[in-house]
Amino acid sequence: MAEAKYGAPSGAFQPHDEVHGLRASAGPVLDLVIPVFNEVAGLEASVRAVCAYLEDTLPFTWRVTIADNASTDGTHAVAGRLAAELPQVRVVRLEAKGRGRALSTVWSTSDAQVLAYCDVDLSTNLSALLPLVAPLVSGHSHVAIGTRLARSSRVVRGPKREFISRSYNLLLRTSLAARFSDAQCGFKAIRADVARELLPLVQDTGWFFDTELLVLAERAGLRIHEVPVDWVDDPDSRVDIVATAMADLKGVIRVGRELMSGALPLREIGQHLPLVGDSQTRIVQGVVVPPDAPPQTALLHQLVRFAVVGIASTLAFALLFLLLRGPMGAQAANFSALLLTAIANTAANRRVTFGFRGSTNAARHQGQGLLVFFFGWALTSGSLALLTATAPTAPHSVELAVLVIANLAATVLRFVLLRRWVFRPRPAATPTGARATLEPTGARAETHLTEGALRLLLPPAP
């Protein structure tokens, strides 16, 4: 392995080697990884082009890492020669294939403060690199991605790949409630502190690595910055589209199952990864809330999760009612079944639908959930009383059908009350000297450069 030597770039810019919120390290600010597999033909030209661009453009220290992904041609020899000649290039050799494995290995051991990667074919124009990493250096965002699907992106590729790309990202939006626009563009960056938290949770070592990392980051409430890119398809790409698509589908199912289980500590990760302005209060739905309030999840995402919890609760209610109907009578069985399922339903919605973890405010949530339960009980009991008054000899199956319908109506009412009352952000007094800002937590970040980033981009005053 060739060791990197760090040097400040030349030109009018003066280097600023501190990333907002991170301690300055002995390594460079940026480590740009280029994963390669059997790229002996084009590797040298691409690496020299990248280094020349970084030397002329970046106002901070940088390094290029060639991640040799178990190449079997002369790629490693070319990479070693480049590392020996160019002081800001190093090589990492891996004995197993997989783009995700290469990125995870290099990023996990890098001493840089911002980690990025680009494809060796340079399909993405490098002019988007500084806008990609600037929000991470400034502390405004946690992750940054290039997108080929923005209106201002300029993309040259065939209709087949265009259809596949848009279909895949649509699948992510419908199945995993993803809000980022382009999961597979080979042009991404992440803060080192974020990578240290998320990489141990990412299981995929292939092409799905990018998607899994982005989904976990978004579910943790981290801010994902998007940059429209200019992109030209590589006609010599050796990616097996069918095999990659099947692996991606398996990955979507696996990640969806893990998210539904609630086993991943994503909320805890989001809570201790600060950004610029995180010490300020926010305004959500017209209410001033503290910075540690849980993120507001998209309505559609909440509805899907609430529906899953609601279906399970309805089935549990029906089973309990049938079991208790004989020994207790209809009204008592209805009340008992509703009470037991309401307690479990509130706990499940608190964790799964609205993203609350831990015991903070759990008792208050359960208390308000019980009040919501009494509304539902009044609705179902009234329906049962009306059935008894109009059809006293109705069979148990009719009773059950009426109660299930009434319970579904009560479920709609329950969602509205849970979202707008029980789990609504609580008002908090604005601290003295603090400034309330309108900040959509977890939303896709627009291009925004703080004063720190402007200092990076502008030459010092004479």
What pLDDT, on a 0 to 100 scale, did the predictor assign at position 202?
96
Share of the chain above pLDDT 70, in %: 79
Tell how strand 287-289 and strand 282-284 pair up. Answer: antiparallel
The DSSP output letter for 459 is P
Statement: residue 139 has pLDDT above 60: yes
The whole-number average pLDDT for the span 131-144 is 94
pLDDT-based confidence at residue 288 (cuts at 50, 70, 90): very low
Radius of gyration over every alpha carbon of the chain, rounded to an integer in angstroms: 27
Question: Is residue 287 over pLDDT 50?
Answer: no
State how far the Cα of 219 lies from the Cα of 222, in Å rounded to an integer. 7
Dump pLDDT digits (tens) for 314-330.
Answer: 888 889 988 888 888 88
pLDDT in tens, 379-423: 878 888 888 888 888 887 888 888 788 878 877 887 888 888 888
Comparing 179-188, 423-432, 443-452, the range with the smallest average pLDDT is: 443-452
User: Which range (82-86, 159-163, 284-288) has the least confidence?
Assistant: 284-288
Q: Could you give the CA distance from residue 380 to residue 206 in angstroms, rounded to a whole number?
A: 51
Q: Which two tokens stand for residue 99?
A: 């783009």
Secondary structure (H, E, C), 345-376: HHHHHHHHHCCCCCCCCHHHHHHHHHHHHHHH
Tell me the residue length of the chain: 462
**Quick check: is 210 catalytic?**
yes
More confident call, 143 vs 272 = 143
pLDDT for position 12: 33
The full DSSP string for 24-58 is --SS-SEEEEEEESS-TTTHHHHHHHHHHHHHHH-
Place of tokens 């008792």: 363
Supply the pLDDT for residue 383. Answer: 87
What does pLDDT average to over the chain? 81
**Across the strands, what pairs with 289?**
282
E-state strands within 336-443: none
Residue 359: other Cβ atoms inside 10 A: 7
Out of 56, 210, 234, 240, the active site residue is 210
Let me know: does 201 contact 264? Beta carbons within 8 Å. yes
Residue 160 pLDDT: 85
Angstrom distances, CA of residue 207 to CA of 129, 155, 294, 347, 415? 21, 21, 31, 36, 38
Q: What is the helix (H) or strand (E) element at residue 304, kind and residue range?
A: helix 299-328
pLDDT digits (tens, 9 = 90+) for 1-39: 444 433 333 333 344 456 665 655 678 999 999 999 999
Q: What was the pLDDT predicted at 298?
A: 59
Predicted local distance difference test score (pLDDT) of residue 345: 83
pLDDT of 296 > 70? The answer is: no
Nearest to residue 188, comparing CAs of 168, 213, 206? 213
Q: Return residue ranges of the chain for CATH 3.90.550.10.
A: 30-278+452-456
**Rounded to the nearest 5°, which phi and psi values hold at 195?**
-60, -40
Kindly report, residue by residue over 205-262, the tens digit of the pLDDT: 999 999 999 999 999 889 999 999 999 987 666 667 778 888 999 999 999 888 888 7
Report how far residue 44's alpha carbon sits from residue 329's, in angstroms, rounded to the nearest whole number.
Answer: 81
Burial readout 361-396 (b: 16 or more C-beta within 10 A, e: otherwise): eeeebbebbeebbeebbebbbebbeebeeeeeeeee
The pLDDT assigned to 454 comes to 42
Higher pLDDT pick, 195 / 331: 195
Q: Which CATH superfamily is domain 30-278+452-456 in?
A: Spore Coat Polysaccharide Biosynthesis Protein SpsA; Chain A (3.90.550.10)
User: Residue 3 in 3-state DSSP?
Assistant: coil
For the whole model, what pTM was predicted?
A: 0.63
Parallel, antiparallel, or unpaired: how do β-strands 187-191 and 143-147 relate?
Answer: antiparallel
Contact 198, 213 (CB under 8 A): yes
Give residue 339's Cα distance to chain centre.
36
Q: Which residue would you say has higher pLDDT here, 15 or 50?
A: 50
Q: What was the pLDDT predicted at 291?
A: 47
What pLDDT score was predicted for residue 91?
96
116 — pLDDT class (breaks 50, 70, 90): very high
Number of H helices, E strands in the chain: 14, 11
More confident residue, 439 or 263: 263
**pLDDT above 50 for 310:** yes
Q: Among the residues of 330-461, which ranges form H helices?
A: 330-348, 362-390, 396-417, 451-457
pLDDT attached to residue 279: 47
**Strand positions, DSSP E, 255-373:** 282-284, 287-289
Flag whether pLDDT at 66 surpasses 80. yes
